[in-house]
Amino acid sequence: MKFFVDTADVDAIKELNDLGMVDGVTTNPSLILKAGRDITEVTREICELVDGPVSAEVVAEKAEDMIREGKILAKIADNIAVKVPLTWDGLKACRALSDEGHMVNVTLCFSPAQAILAAKAGATFISPFIGRLDDIHLDGIDLIADIREIYDNYGYETQILAASIRTVNHIIEVGKIGTDVITAPPAVIKSMVKHVLTDKGLEQFNADWAKTGQKIG
Ligand code: G3P
């Protein structure tokens, strides 16, 4: 399972990257706002830090404007994946940018039908949003399973990038289905380490060790 980090917080990316846990990064306009940084500057910094794909999102609505913005973003670094929304214009931009050799991440996917169109339009990544479906009482995990089944039926090479991940359980469930990539906030990735029995076991070991009166080294 490839790990992308869903943030534009350079320090948070660096911490995970130093452990070899970052296969790529995803950003979006909301994450750029949260980081409070200039999009070009922060994206360049992330691209210098991380070897894998770094998604940077266009904000235009018309295909020709998305293509223009996508080309500007792609100039930031060789590892940019241009992120376009799953609209008809977004699919046109996906086809054009992909034909020119750029990686394209088609985002805001909420149905298997949309995912089929993205694959047909040459997307490198499809980003189905799990958490936002859960928010409206639909099953985001089912969406990943449906897309996996359909993509495998036809050998589509578009990678499934499970997004809008809010919990460790989301990561486990999409891993069981066989998502290609997950993108999650740094805090969710770091919380994967937590287990109550690990904490309890460590507490016991420390207490027993103190009773031995010994030191290592
Ligand atoms: O990568 C898309 C993701 O950032 C959306 O997450 O939690 O805002 O639904 P969320």
Q: How many domains does the chain have?
A: 1
Domain span including residue 65: 2-192
| Residue 184 φ/ψ, nearest 5 degrees | -145, 155
Residue 41 lies in a domain: yes
Distance 163 CA to ligand 1 centre (A): 6
Q: What is the pLDDT of residues 145-182, one digit of tens each?
A: 999 999 999 999 999 999 999 999 999 999 999 999 99
8 Å CB contact between 182 and 175: yes
Domain presence at residue 69: yes
pLDDT at residue number 145: 98
Tell me if 183 CB under 6 Å of ligand 1.
yes
Q: Whose CA is closest to atom 4 on ligand 1?
A: 164
Does residue 116 belong to any structural domain of this protein? yes
Report the CATH number that the domain containing residue 28 is assigned in CATH: 3.20.20.70
Quote the pTM value.
0.96
Residue 203 lies in a domain: no
Specify the residue with its C-alpha closest to ligand 1, atom 6: 164
Is 199 among the domain residues?
Answer: no
Task: Classify residue 133: in a domain, yes or no.
Answer: yes
In-domain check, residue 204: no
Is 83 an annotated catalytic residue?
Answer: yes
pLDDT in tens, 14-25: 999 999 999 999
Residue 123 maps to a domain:
yes
Report pLDDT for 7.
98
Residue pLDDT, tens place only, 55-113: 999 999 999 999 999 999 999 999 999 999 999 999 999 999 999 999 999 999 999 99
**Which amino acid is located at 171 in the chain?**
I
CA of 66 to the centre of ligand 1 (A): 20
